[in-house]
Amino acid sequence: MQENEEIKALLKEINEEMPSLSRRDAIKLMGMSPLAAGVIASAGTATGTELHASDAKGKIVIVGGGLAGMSTAARLSNSLSSPDITVIEPDPKSVSYQPGQTLVAAGVWEPDDIVYKRDDFLPSGVNLITDSVASFDPANNSVTTASGENISYDYLIIATGLMLNYGAIKGLKGVITSAGANNGEVMETIGKDGAHSIYFQDGAAKTYDGIQELIAKAKAHTGSEKLQALFTHPNTPIKCGGAPKKIMYLTHARLEEAGVRDKVELTFLPNGGAMFGVKEYHDAILQQFKDRDFKWHYKHNLVEIDTANKVAIFDHHWEEKGEYDEDLEEYDTIVKHALVEKKYDFIHITPPMKAPDAVGKSPLGSGKGWVPTVKETLKHLKHDNVYVLGDVAAVPMGKTGGSVRKQYKVVVDNLIATMEGKSELPAAYGGYTVCPLITSLGTVMLAEFDWSKKPTPSFPLDPTQERWIWWLLKVYALKPMTVYGMLPGRA
């Protein structure tokens, strides 16, 4: 298979960069990596630890049938001798490969390359309810679906994912999932007239068209002022925090390829005050921005957009020193705000994100909407028979597929221990996550880290460097690892 040939090339590159490393050791390194444990087996060979069936009994309900929910269902099904598992998921394409949306927008993949049918990955023996949950009643161990069906459980797993809240930006409408079902309101303004977003499937495909339109406009542009391409990052937690930068890098690459990069100014406008939460990666990205002549303005949150006139309005916020507090012996800090208007020819909008209201505003939710959980065990903070994983979980830096790959095994091990009546939970999530930061058409910086906010590279290579071998990993290995490793509950 082509994928296996690319993996051989990846191993060859490792050997070239570290001549003392044998091919056997290179394979061993990939096998040890929490990221790449399934890479060698990209054609579908089972990976991961051997599973021993438990005789524990109990009715398990999983709310959400995306990557997190379906992988958990599969691993539980493999781990219990008599599983009683129900998955509640309305979206027939819930298991589609979301990380591929960036590559669709760049024209590397076609939309069909990332769309998968939920029912093709439903584990044998698992009951599927094609509905959404409208309310949660943890006091009575039950949920109620949108159609009014009341479903009881002994154990509940919440893996609903999150919602893309485009409607939180004045001038836009709609709240949708990443699959983008029922996206009519959103696409009244997104996907045309220079306003784009890769965060849902149709939006990713339209973003590719938008980049081509920007290239055509640049080729025809004869004015002295550069065209403006803006890239936003909101003031909420988001899935795949690197994606707003990835699409910027890829737009730059396509403009360079077309010979019109000098006619377009690319500007990144994040709500935060840094490029990345890990200093080493922040420093590396900052240098990459400088090398590519990118512009950036920290502490700018997109609050309104006039798509008819192509004007984006940002809340620029900063801190100033206030009056001196004699009791605390320090100065007060005053947050200042100013609205800033920026015209654009192309804008990539990363929408604010939130938990689905049904769970975020339920007794299982929290003041901030996300579902509170013990970050190591992934057990709900208040309910011992409820576990949480994936984008909806209130854990730091955990909204990526790389996080889910570690989390779902923790949930399964700990839930089975709970079902068996054990007082101690055997598994702990250490906060590992990974962001394959695409920096060009052919290079990736593999940013791996955990709650220590320090790089945690799986390979003995400088993780702050852009490498083509990580492009091979991103384009050829991670999708089969996800589809044939995680979704069957093995990798």
Backbone angles phi, psi at 137, to 5 degrees: -130, 75
- 373: pLDDT strictly greater than 60: yes
Spatial contact of 446 and 409, defined as CB atoms under 8 Å apart? no
Q: What is the pLDDT of residues 391-414, one digit of tens each?
A: 999 998 879 999 999 999 999 999
What pLDDT is recorded for position 321?
Answer: 85
- Give the whole-angstrom CA distance, residue 89 versus residue 69: 9
Mean pLDDT of all residues in 356-361: 96
- 419: pLDDT strictly greater than 60: yes
Spatial contact of 374 and 428, defined as CB atoms under 8 Å apart? no
Pick from 208, 235, 191, 210: which is nearest to 102 by CA? 208
- 481: pLDDT strictly greater than 60: yes
More confident: 3 or 371 = 371
Residue range(s) in the chain whose domain bears CATH number 3.50.50.100: 165-353
CB within 8 Å of 203: residues ≥ 6 apart? 101, 180, 183, 186, 187, 190, 191, 196, 197
Residue 459's alpha-carbon distances to 8, 28, 420, 437, 452, in angstroms, are 16, 10, 37, 16, 18
Mean pLDDT of all residues in 59-85: 97
Type of residue at 459: F
Mean pLDDT of all residues in 8-28: 48
CA dihedral 127→132→134→139, nearest 10 degrees, is 30
- Give the whole-angstrom CA distance, residue 67 versus residue 118: 10
More confident: 20 or 426 = 426
Q: Where are the beta strands (DSSP E) in 185-270?
A: 195-196, 227-233, 264-270
- 131: pLDDT strictly greater than 50: yes
- Give the whole-angstrom CA distance, residue 112 versus residue 96: 10
Mean pLDDT of all residues in 216-238: 96
Mean pLDDT of all residues in 327-353: 93
Q: pTM (2 decimals)? A: 0.90
What pLDDT is recorded for position 468?
Answer: 92
Average predicted confidence (pLDDT) for the chain:
90
What pLDDT is recorded for position 45?
Answer: 39
What pLDDT is recorded for position 367?
Answer: 81
Q: What is the pLDDT of residues 98-129, one digit of tens each?
A: 999 999 999 999 999 999 999 999 999 999 99
> In the chain, pLDDT over 90 holds for what percent of residues?
80
- Written as six digits, the tokens of 201 are 């499937």
Range of lowest pLDDT (82-91, 172-181, 443-452): 172-181
What pLDDT is recorded for position 2?
Answer: 47
Question: For 221-308, where are the alpha helices, taking DSSP H only?
Answer: 243-258, 279-291
- 370: pLDDT strictly greater than 50: yes
What pLDDT is recorded for position 51?
Answer: 53
What pLDDT is recorded for position 12?
Answer: 55
Q: For 2-162+355-486, which CATH class?
A: alpha beta
Q: What is the pLDDT of residues 288-327, one digit of tens each?
A: 999 999 999 999 999 999 999 999 999 999 988 888 887 7
- Written as six digits, the tokens of 470 are 């990580």
Which residues are catalytically annotated?
240, 435
Backbone angles phi, psi at 32, to 5 degrees: -80, -25
Backbone angles phi, psi at 274, to 5 degrees: -155, 165
Confidence at 286, pLDDT banded by 50, 70, 90: very high
What pLDDT is recorded for position 343?
Answer: 98
What pLDDT is recorded for position 32?
Answer: 44
What pLDDT is recorded for position 476?
Answer: 87
What pLDDT is recorded for position 459?
Answer: 86
What pLDDT is recorded for position 23?
Answer: 43
- Written as six digits, the tokens of 110 are 């076609």
Confidence at 173, pLDDT banded by 50, 70, 90: very high
Residue range(s) in the chain whose domain bears CATH number 3.50.50.60: 2-162+355-486
Q: What is the CATH number of domain 165-353?
A: 3.50.50.100
Q: What is the pLDDT of residues 145-157, one digit of tens each?
A: 999 999 999 999 9
- 199: pLDDT strictly greater than 50: yes
